[in-house]
Amino acid sequence: MKKYKNPPQSQWSSLSQRPTQSFAEIEETVKAIFKEIQTKGDNAVAKYTSLFDGIKLDTFLVAENEIKEAEKQISEDLKHAIALAKSNIYKFHSAQKTNKIEVETTEGVVCWQEKRPIQKVGLYIPGGTAPLFSTVLMLAIPAKIAGCEEIILCSPPDKNGKINPAILYAAHLCGVTNIFKVGGIQAIAALTFGTASIPKVYKIFGPGNQYVTVAKQVATQFDTAIDMPAGPSELLVYADDSSIPAFVASDLLSQAEHGTDSQVILVSNSQKIIDEVENEIENQIQVLPRKEIAQKAIENSKLILIKKENDALAFINEYAPEHLIICSKNETFFIDGIQNAGSVFIGNFTPESAGDYASGTNHTLPTNGFSKNYSGVNLDSFSKAITFQKIAEHGLKNIGNAIEIMAEAEGLQAHKNAITLRLNALNNE
């Protein structure tokens, strides 16, 4: 890990850079695949599935018998763990429901707002070296609570043309409509345009690698919404001398093992803590099955000594981490002052892994500094707000003249006439 001692603010921007390729470097590849899938549909999807996943498929749709077979492969312990996680995720997201908001803004003028579900949503679930069945829970559960009519899931197949059984089990448990064996750029493009096999959706959710992240951003150019640009995972830990170095190291490694392009950062006001955490990382990484992946991510990561808490908080807000862990005796200072973070974990016994799986919060979060302007996935992500209004005759009289004056001032005579005609009719009764 690279080490920095009290870096000046002029270096913060460079310290906040993620180890990923730029949008421009990937965009050309993504757009070429999008164009081919837009014109050739399933044939192009099959081509890129063969190219990238190494498997030729006759059909992309997961059959009922495959789902039943997957259920048999899941241990009872895992089923109970998934049930616990599902319960907590359901509780937290159900609590986010809001009632209709109705206001009489002026006597006779009633305005209200109601939420409506997005009818068709696409869920992208990464496969590869770490099939994230937990992400199925994080996306499908709030989609069902919101009332989405079609929940389409795409996940890359393995070399045998199968999707990880835990992904299939979780998807079936959470009420996913259809599951397709498609991954990467081609999955996002298929959900964007629709093919003979795969439905077009209105909004795409889910994390992915750099190519999936750019593909989602390109999808927005074709009238498809996305949850956020959620790319390679990242974690920043703030730890003072009240922290437990072994715990801090375990948290940093838990994110480093996601992928070689993940990034983890430790910020501390104590050189002693930094040294102890570094030693713990060296010891703990040796026994990890994903040691090689974690090691490469650690090479892109940083240990930063910042003596003043005000400066540390300012740097954290500049970095805008996906995940932030606060292990500080002055935790309230950081809780109150954090402006930019996807999800925050507080105290020595609140590991980031809890949010990844079973505490109840959502783990689909903005990365690469996007927590400055994006929220993580929540219940509102799966709905949109529609406003309504109803104006009584006396209500129109109360606001009509103001509307006429404003419309005329903007030079929009037809707008004014729509009011004047009604007011004249009412005055002539």
In this predicted model, what pLDDT tens digit does every residue of 73-84 receive, in sequence order?
999 999 999 999
Mean pLDDT lowest for which of 110-119, 169-178, 208-217, 233-242? Answer: 208-217
Q: Which residues are annotated as a binding site?
A: 124, 186, 209, 233, 255, 258, 323, 356, 410, 415
% residues pLDDT > 90 (the chain) = 91
- Provide Rg for the chain, Cα atoms: 25
Q: How confident is the model at residue 152 (pLDDT cuts 50, 70, 90)?
A: very high
- Domain 23-98+117-227 sits in CATH 3.20.20.20: no
CATH number, domain 392-427: 1.20.5.1300
Containing 178, the helix (H) or strand (E) segment is: strand 178-181
Give the chain's mean pLDDT: 96
Cα(395)–Cα(400) distance, integer angstroms: 8
Mean pLDDT of 88-114: 98
| 322 is annotated as an active-site residue | yes
Confirm if 177 and 123 have CB atoms less than 8 A apart. Answer: no
Sheet holding 150-155, edge to edge: 178-181, 150-155, 120-124, 203-205, 225-226
Q: Which residues pair with 266 in a beta bridge?
A: 237, 303
**For helices 76-94 and 133-146, angle between their N-to-C axes, nearest 10 degrees:** 40
**Which pLDDT value is given to residue 18?**
87
Confidence (pLDDT) at 21: 63
How far is it, in rounded angstroms, from Cα 373 to Cα 258?
24
Sequence ranges of the binding site for substrate: 233, 255, 258, 323, 356, 410, 415
For the ranges 110-114, 222-226, 298-302, 389-393, the lowest mean pLDDT is seen at 298-302
Nearest to 186 by CA among 161, 215, 206: 215
pTM: predicted TM-score of the whole model, two decimal places:
0.94
Query: Tens digit of pLDDT for each residue in 203-241?
Result: 999 988 889 989 999 999 999 999 998 778 899 999 999
Which residue has better confidence, 368 or 229?
A: 368
Tell me the CATH number for domain 232-375: 3.40.50.1980
Catalytic residue among 93, 172, 323, 363: 323
Residue 414 confidence (pLDDT)? 98
What does residue 98 show for φ and ψ, rounded to 5 degrees?
Answer: -125, 145
Element (H, E) at 235: strand 234-239
Can you say which residues are annotated as belonging to the binding site for NAD(+)?
124, 186, 209
Q: In the prediction, which pLDDT does 208 show?
A: 85
* Catalytic pick among 322, 363, 394, 404: 322
pLDDT at 343: 98
Count the neighbouring beta carbons within 10 Å of the beta carbon of residue 367.
25
Q: How confident is the model at residue 181 (pLDDT cuts 50, 70, 90)?
A: very high
Q: What is the pLDDT of residue 49?
A: 97
Cβ 208 vs Cβ 178: under 8 Å: no
Q: Is the pLDDT of residue 20 over 80?
A: no
Domain range list for the chain: 23-98+117-227, 232-375, 392-427
Residue 37: what pLDDT? 98
The binding site for Zn(2+) consists of 255, 258, 356, 415
Q: What is the pLDDT of residue 131?
A: 84
- 22: confidence class by pLDDT, cuts 50, 70, 90: low
Same CATH fold assignment for domains 23-98+117-227 and 232-375: yes
Instruction: Give tens-digit pLDDT for 407-425.
Output: 999 999 999 999 999 999 9
